[in-house]
Structure 1
Amino acid sequence: MPKPVIFCDFDGTVTESDNIISIMKKFAPPGWEQVKDDILGQKISIREGVGKLFSLLPTNMKDEITDFAIKNAKIRHGFKEFVEFTRAEQIPLYIVSGGIDFFIYPILEKFGPFAGIYCNSSDFSDDYIKILWPQRCDSLCQNDCGCCKPSIIRKLDLDISFKIVIGDSVTDLEAAKYADFVLARDLLKEKCEEWGIKHQGFHTFYECIEGIKKRIEVGELT
């Protein structure tokens, strides 16, 4: 049987709220709400939308924005134990996020190391924040994702693995289509139900532990 590998979202999954939205609500640059609505309504791509959001924020606020993002982030219950569980079971855990490096790495530092962390990068060298895209879509994806989760899965070449995706939102929809099993919240859970993707809902990472344990016990992941 294939061995499991986990791809876990960050914003709204590891953390209880979306850190990009929290930053925008806090600093409230004019026009951010329309951009946010356009992303969620899939009127513009995630890459275009996230780039537009951060281009509204001046780089001279870097320290203030970074400090807020790190201090405001509330880790979802059970995440520490979940990371420990994956290590004990020798399950590779990748963090794949449409979030930004300047807050993801500091927040995750005390929980690591991970099999890998994939996210967007930031450039503070100009007057306004510029987002960089080291994990852009490959030739098989035309969604202009920014951080393209299915492209990352394909790049890692894990065809013989049992792929578990954990997430909550629009950035996780395409990755869920590649998963053998999804642990889902909010919009992702709704879409898994609509599309008939094998999944389990969750509120805390304790439920994620139990969901994976059950599949180990029945021999699905061994």
Structure 2
Amino acid sequence: MAPPAIVFTDWDGTVTLQDSNDYLTDNLGMGYPKRKILNDDILDGKINFRDAFKDMLDSVPNSFPECVEILLKNIKLDPGFKKFYQYCKSKDIPIIVVSSGMKPIIYTLLESLVGSESLPDIEIMSNDVRIDGDNWEIFFKDPDSPFGHDKAKSIKEYLKAHGYDDNDDSENNTPKLFYCGDGVSDLSAAKETNLLFAKHGKDLIKYCIRENIPYTEFNDFEDILNKMTAIIDGSSTIEKFTENPTFEATTK
């Protein structure tokens, strides 16, 4: 029996209130004005995400352990995520973090912000880090992809590894697929699930509007939980939540 849903989610700025990579870049590296220019260039197609993201992180002079300690003191959890996590656990709904961040940082923040008990329950698919003494650099999961981490590819890999066949339309093999994100790193995953939750006021919504990608807005994970439970219990539908009038529901 398949779970009623599978949740794929970005980490930085989605599960957390602040983006840890942006925090490092803005406060220790090149600073916000230069990062904003790079972000705009990504959205306009002038530079790919992978190269711009590496430039941002390469501007941070601190050692990796120093960066982790600074993030532990400054990064906060979305106020609704713990309740969301407990609901998913009670319903055997997998949560898979699909992140352009670095695995050691995500694991450390997950343990600190949610608790060590969450580590076995939440799978992390992300980039990693290569450390050489005081020097470090991001190690991309998909170095040949312009995203560095091709989140669409990771979603497909997860579904295939867990036996969810797109050609099987039986009830037991069709969990609803959700993706939660906020920024430019989520562009490759935006079309891969039944419903995309895009964070209010962030770059992902700009992209969705421009590319006519269906989505629904959220402010925090309590919003996501309310909409997701309504879809799962049948009191509402994906179509009713979409903010794109041309939306056509997909079946997985």
Compute the TM-score of the two structures, normalised by the length of structure 2.
0.75
Amino acid at match of 1:95: V
Q: Deviations over 1:72-97 (max 9, x none)?
A: 11111111111111111211110011
Is 1:94 the counterpart of 2:101 in the alignment? Answer: no
Structure 2 unpaired stretches of 5+: 167-173, 239-252
Deviation at 1:128, TM superposition (A): 3.5
Preserved contact between residue 127 and residue 138 of structure 2 (Cα < 8 Å): yes
Query: C-alpha distance in 2, partners of 1:136/1:164?
Result: 26
Local SS of the residue matching 2:18? coil
Within a 5 Å distance, the mapping from 1:113-192 to structure 2 comes to 113-125=120-132, 128-136=135-143, 144-156=146-158, 157=160, 158=164, 159=166, 160-185=174-199, 186-192=202-208
Distance 1:121 1:198, change over 3 A: same
Q: Residue in 1 aligned with 2:67?
A: 65
Deviation at 1:132, TM superposition (A): 0.6
Q: Residue in 2 aligned with 1:15?
A: 16
Number of paired residues? 214
More displaced 10-residue stretch of structure 1: 156-165 or 103-112:
156-165
Q: Residue in 2 aligned with 1:218?
A: 234
**Relative contact order higher in (CA < 8 Å, ≥ 6 apart):** 1
Local SS of the residue matching 2:12? coil
Preserved contact between residue 39 and residue 45 of structure 1 (Cα < 8 Å): no
Preserved contact between residue 101 and residue 127 of structure 2 (Cα < 8 Å): yes
Preserved contact between residue 56 and residue 129 of structure 1 (Cα < 8 Å): no
Local SS of the residue matching 1:129? strand
Deviation at 1:62, TM superposition (A): 2.6
Deviation at 1:188, TM superposition (A): 1.9
Q: Deviations over 1:154-198 (max 9, x none)?
A: 212243442211001111122111121011112223333444444
Local SS of the residue matching 1:91? coil
Local SS of the residue matching 1:124? strand
Query: C-alpha distance in 2, partners of 1:35/1:49?
Result: 9
Using the aligned pairs only, state the percent identity.
26
Compute the TM-score of the two structures, normalised by the length of structure 1.
0.84
Query: C-alpha distance in 2, partners of 1:213/1:97?
Result: 24
Q: Residue in 1 aligned with 2:48?
A: 45
Amino acid at match of 2:80: G
